[in-house]
Amino acid sequence: MSEDYSDDFDPWDDAGDEEPVIVSVGELTAIPYGCAACGETNETQFDLGGGYHQQYTEDCAVCCRPNLLTITVDEETHAATIVNELEYDC
């Protein structure tokens, strides 16, 4: 069975369609990310009390593979960026 996608459509790349997540001071902020192993959408709860640059590991809720999350928050706008990769290859 073949999927019919146009040349410029990537079903795994929808990051450009989303508005940036604005982190709330004094509250947990949900930040979505795609698992680096299976691509499923996950969500981490971010606490700005830990600083404007944080790195930690969370397991995917679907495939259980560990994702190393690096979250950076702009100090002026409080817009968050998240980068993730597999913590290790199995």
Q: Would residue 89 count as lying in a domain?
A: yes
Whether pLDDT at 3 is above 70 = no
Mean pLDDT, range 40-51, rounded to an integer: 97
Provide the residue range defining the domain that includes 56: 48-90
Question: Do 20 and 82 form a contact (C-beta atoms < 8 A)?
Answer: no
- Asked whether residue 34 is assigned to any structural domain, the reply reads no
Answer whether residue 9 is part of any domain. no
Residue 35 lies in a domain: no
Number of domains in the chain: 1
pLDDT of residue 17: 54
Residue 25 domain flag: no
- The verdict on residue 83 lying in a domain is yes
Instruction: Give the helix/strand (H/E) hosting 45.
Output: strand 41-47
In a domain, 26, yes or no: no
Of the candidate ranges 6-15, 16-25, 31-40, 44-53, the one whose mean pLDDT is the lowest: 6-15
Residue 81 lies in a domain: yes
Closest CA to 75 of 27, 20, 23, 21: 23
pLDDT greater than 70 at residue 22? yes
Neighbours of 11 (CB within 10 A): 8
